[in-house]
Chain A
Amino acid sequence: MDTRNFTFMFYGFLAAWLILVLYVVTLVSRERRIKQEMKSLRSMIEDRGHA
């Protein structure tokens, strides 16, 4: 295998996957925040409904 420009090819693949992973991380953290907010709003409505 011709190893010319291996370093930059590695940087290219690394950058592509890193951007994808970062985006997935933001999706996961947003998902967590949304679920938490839904849960707290639902319990707030339930509490007020009982009161």
Chain B
Amino acid sequence: MREKLIYVLATAASLLLARNLAMIFLHLPDEASQGMIYRIIFFHVPAWWTAMLGAIVALVASVLFLVKKDFRHDSLAVAATEVGLAFLTIGLVTGTIWARIIWGIWWTWDARLTSALICWILYGGYLILRRTVDEPTQRATLAAVYSIFAFVDVPIVWFSIRWWRTQHPQPVFGQGGFLEADMKSTLLWNFLAVGLIGVILLLIRLQQEENLREIDALRRETHAIS
């Protein structure tokens, strides 16, 4: 059932991506001051949104694990964190490449970029922490507590451009931002495409975590037999 869902979502994501790429490169005009490079926005912003969604899913799953002690929630937390971290990396790297042209620098220690880097380090730390603890219950509990702690940085990243004066521009949606209608609709469609890729990776990773739990059970069984 899950495998079928993955194939359906992958087909939908591929079609949507093909449509969006055609819009981005063949239909949309260039931006007056940035030239072609503004097109990075169509992957930079959706990657960040997907990463943030991953962090929210990880937070909810971690809280649920601590309340219910159900390992399925722990599996969801680790899967969402890992996939989220991949998209966080895409957001950071595409951002630095864009910054090199627009700001003339690869990096600046302003509130948005610094808090985003801290976010990346925190969630990377979560994955490292999981490797250091062998006992499954202890590992899941420690990881859940750590994940809740790590999430504290997420609203700081999100609101940093509103709370402080930063080099990073204001959001393109809502206050302070403006995007032409065609560009806005393409960006929204690409949120969906990138989000679908995120869901597909999450489902695959979730299956792997469930298989790893089964391996733990099989190992216990072999020890019991011997």
A1-46 contacts to B (CB < 8 Å)? 1-6, 8-9, 11-13, 15-16, 19-20, 23-24, 27, 30-31, 34-35, 37-38, 41-42, 44-45
**Which A residues fall within an 8 A CB radius of B?**
1-6, 8-9, 11-13, 15-16, 19-20, 23-24, 27, 30-31, 34-35, 37-38, 41-42, 44-45, 48-49
Q: Is the interface of A mostly helix, strand, loop or mixed?
A: helix
B13-53 contacts to A (CB < 8 Å)? 30, 34-37, 39-40, 43-44, 47
B205 at the interface (CB under 8 A from A): yes
B90 at the interface (CB under 8 A from A): yes
Cβ contacts under 8 Å, B97 to chain A: 8, 11-12, 15
> How many inter-chain residue pairs (CB < 8 Å) link A and B?
90
Does B218 contact A45, Cβ atoms closer than 8 Å?
yes
How far is B224's CA from A48's CA once the two chains are assembled, in angstroms? 11
Q: Is the interface of B mostly helix, strand, loop or mixed?
A: helix
Question: Which chain B residue lies CB-closest to A5?
Answer: B37
A4-B34, A15-B90 given. 14 additional CB < 8 A pairs?
A: A1-B30, A2-B36, A5-B34, A5-B36, A8-B100, A9-B40, A13-B40, A16-B47, A19-B86, A20-B197, A27-B204, A27-B208, A41-B218, A45-B225
Q: Given known contacts A20-B90, A45-B225, is B215 in contact with A12 (CB within 8 Å)? A: no
